[in-house]
Structure 1
Amino acid sequence: MKEQESSDQAKALLKKYLAGQCTAAEEQQVLRWFYTLDQSDKEQFQEELPANETPPHLASRINARLDAQLFDEPTPIKRLTWMRSKWMVAALMMAVSGFSFWLYQRMSSTAPTTMTLAAEIPSQSKTFHNDILPGGHYAKIITPTGKEQQLADPFVQQHNPATEIAGKNFRVDVPKAGTYMVILEDGTKVWLNSLTQLSYPTHFEADQRQVTLTGEAYFKVAKDASRPFRINANGTTIEVLGTTFNVNAYEKEVSTSLVEGSVKIVKEGKQTIIKPGEQATTLANDIQVKLSDLTKNTAWQREEFYFDGNNFNDITQQIARWYNVEFENIEAMKNSSTYKGSISRNSKLSEVLQILALATGRKFDINGRKVLVQ
């Protein structure tokens, strides 16, 4: 009887998600579930798919719901590739059709998955001593008491109200070779790039929402006219009510690229408001605004490296963070190439370096976690 009740609850929750009627907590339950499936689960879903449900029809419906969930207003950004995997569609189809008690248990599970990020593997080419796999979805959360927990699923950990400390912040740390998606208490979604930290309260205040960022993040801020959303990043404050934008705060200079809505940038008494398609960069004593290359500035969030033809130093920094490597003899590279294009961040390091070799006319070798520019 309990199994049947759990099955009904699971089915109802998935239907609510597809209809866009889930609360923030319920949405996190669904996210928690379909990012903890293993290979045997995926195969079981495929085998038990009911004959009266055609994959194209359900896949179309599910994809539409996922699009609305992540990008519910038109933007120039491509869809996230990790939200498009076939096994996820199969899993959701099976859940909607009634696969049940197991589903309910898995959605309540909090056990982290052990992951090896950017693992070293043997090279299949004589060009490289070894190869390195791409990074993945991983972070750790640090509680106000200093306790650490590994998180291998791209959504924020659900907090236990009984153990929360009022007025204190949690911190999510994303290491080299990692990315992570956080859903905050107000429904704001934040995609964190490698080597990034985000500090946030479990519950926002009644008159404002405030977080602290170092590194790079793509924000889709939930609209709330009564509570402005503020990001503190290396001495710069970014204030919005509800909008979508990318913030690069790896260095002292903070760049904000606006996708939609409007954003106010404040730095040491100076402030400016930018419009969609613009980028604001805060310098020591100034805020510079120019047209933003959104294709380039948000490439990481689409799981791509983007070659713009004139800034290979920036590209090597991105590669170093994503594969957890160090470049040697980087000064040998020249920025005179006009090569433009992109390559998936799901590629092995050797594949990325082969493209970089074509673009720069240089040769590369991988030895352990060192990349030698020849």
Structure 2
Amino acid sequence: MKKEDFHIAQIIANYIRSESTPLEEKELNEWLNQDETHHKILANFKDDRKVLDGISYIADIDVDVAWKKQRRLNTIRAKKNKRLYLSYAAVFAAIVCTLLGIYQFHFNKEISDRIVPYVGSAHANDILPGSDKGILILSNGKKVPLGPEEQALNETNGIQINSDNNSVAYHNGAIVSQGELLYNELHTPTAGTYQLTLSDGTKVWLNALSELRFPIQFSSDERKVFLKGEAYFDIARDPDRPFKVMASQVTTEALGTQFNISAYDKQFQAILTEGVVKVVGNKNSAKLYRGQEATLAKGSLKVSVADIEKATAWKEGYFYFNEQPLKEVLEEISRWYNVDIKYKKNVRKQRITGTVSRADKLSEVCDVLEVVSDYKFYIINNKLIVYAKETTL
């Protein structure tokens, strides 16, 4: 196979999307004039609905990377004396079919009913925001989808669990001994949030792509839960039983207070909005007072002045960015809209400041980001392409 095969595949993809440059149109015409079979290949692409759906994926493939992979494959085949002698057109058809097969395998798993048409030419489609949804895993392993409908559940020990609209609550929270603890888990997917009321009355708001493991009844000496992702806690006061949140190898301990913990990808940030908490890491510990935050850097906890609005904005329904790196901004957007972020060349580091509603469609969020940054954004399927304003797609 030739590297030019991959290059022509991209040119055809751009042609069918009506995004060809004059140079690409010239190259396409030259390729068409080389062989009558090439005209048939192009005609088949234009008539095949599946190919039209997959064209966008092909257009974004890195030709150099794809060619390097294919060249390694050719070397292996040569060593095994299994060379394939195909016509240029057949080789090209095989390449594109392979690429489309990869596209259909990966994208169909991620396709969402939140992908909706976009009116205009700025984007290929639009994406609706996330919503209140989650998965509750009971002590026997049963998984219960949570959404807007009301549900009444019973755990094996008689604990009553009720869910409605956007929250799930545990009742009959008697104290039990440490050995009798039964655990449940609440998981939120990308594009999902959910609220939880624990058996002691503590309220927890779970952000997108997060997990909370908790006992359905707490022990007599402490209340301990385990977090992955992000959650806001409003702790029910109990001087005799400290409340502990275990996240990213850091313990946050409180008696009755409010705070937000973000613990994605082994990172850790705790922001205190009310009261006092103690944070304990592997190397050191610290007390936090209202308006302070603790972050984990190289295994050590660092305390600094916090931006309280950042801790509460997401649960109040809006994005809040204050000199936040663009990459972190887009990570939040990726989790809430369930999109893959792809950076084009010439994207430099930049910090973003601004607010935008989490109830907006993704295109509306992109409009705001374009005003406050040096970048443009393009939505196609479940992908958000980011590129500098002085460049083109």
Cα distance in 2 for partners of 1:117, 1:341 equals 28
Cα distance in 2 for partners of 1:195, 1:251 equals 11
| Cα separation, partners in 2 of 1:272 and 1:331, compared to 1, 3 Å | farther
**Counterpart amino acid of residue 266 in structure 1:** V
Which residue of 2 is the match for residue 4 of structure 1? none
Indicate whether 1:179 and 2:193 are aligned: yes
Cα distance in 1 for partners of 2:358, 2:294 equals 26
Which residue of 2 is the match for residue 130 of structure 1? 125
**Counterpart amino acid of residue 238 in structure 2:** D
**Counterpart amino acid of residue 374 in structure 2:** G
CA-to-partner distance for each residue in 1:160-203, whole Å, 9 max, x for gaps? 45466942210000000000000000000000000000000110
**Counterpart amino acid of residue 364 in structure 1:** F
Which residue of 2 is the match for residue 366 of structure 1? 379
Residue 357 (structure 1) shift: 1.2
CA-to-partner distance for each residue in 1:58-95, whole Å, 9 max, x for gaps? xxxxxxxxxxxxxxxxxxxxxxxxxxxxxxxxxxxxxx
Secondary structure of the equivalent of 2:265?
coil
Pairing partner for 1:258 from 263, 272, 292: 272
Say if 2:318 and 2:355, in contact at 8 Å, map to a contact too.
yes
CA-to-partner distance for each residue in 1:234-290, whole Å, 9 max, x for gaps? 211000001000001013231100001001000125211011000011233311000
Residue 359 (structure 1) shift: 1.6
**Counterpart amino acid of residue 343 in structure 1:** V
The residue correspondences of 1:59-74 to structure 2 (distance < 5 A) are none
Residue 159 (structure 1) shift: 3.7
| Cα separation, partners in 2 of 1:309 and 1:331, compared to 1, 3 Å | farther
Cα distance in 2 for partners of 1:286, 1:181 equals 31
| Cα separation, partners in 2 of 1:254 and 1:289, compared to 1, 3 Å | same
Indicate whether 1:214 and 2:209 are aligned: no
Residue 146 (structure 1) shift: 1.5
Cα distance in 1 for partners of 2:247, 2:132 equals 23
Residue 335 (structure 1) shift: 3.8
The residue correspondences of 1:266-345 to structure 2 (distance < 5 A) are 266-268=280-282, 270-329=284-343, 332-336=346-350, 340-345=353-358
| TM-score w.r.t. length of structure 1 | 0.65
Secondary structure of the equivalent of 1:299?
helix
Aligned positions, number: 258
| Cα separation, partners in 2 of 1:329 and 1:131, compared to 1, 3 Å | same
Residue 207 (structure 1) shift: 0.8
**Counterpart amino acid of residue 123 in structure 1:** Y
Say if 2:284 and 2:301, in contact at 8 Å, map to a contact too.
yes
Cα distance in 2 for partners of 1:134, 1:168 equals 34
The residue correspondences of 1:338-357 to structure 2 (distance < 5 A) are 340-357=353-370
Q: Whose radius of gyration is greater, 1 or 2?
A: 2
| TM-score w.r.t. length of structure 2 | 0.62
| Alignment root-mean-square deviation, CA | 2.3
Which residue of 2 is the match for residue 90 of structure 1? none
Cα distance in 2 for partners of 1:137, 1:226 equals 34
Say if 1:118 and 1:177, in contact at 8 Å, map to a contact too.
no
Pairing partner for 1:142 from 137, 162, 165: 137
Cα distance in 2 for partners of 1:189, 1:372 equals 37
Cα distance in 2 for partners of 1:131, 1:219 equals 33
CA-to-partner distance for each residue in 1:210-243, whole Å, 9 max, x for gaps? 0000000000000000000001102110000010
Secondary structure of the equivalent of 1:237?
strand
Say if 1:156 and 1:184, in contact at 8 Å, map to a contact too.
no
Say if 1:155 and 1:182, in contact at 8 Å, map to a contact too.
no
Cα distance in 2 for partners of 1:318, 1:371 equals 13
Secondary structure of the equivalent of 2:273?
strand
Pairing partner for 1:151 from 120, 129, 146: 146
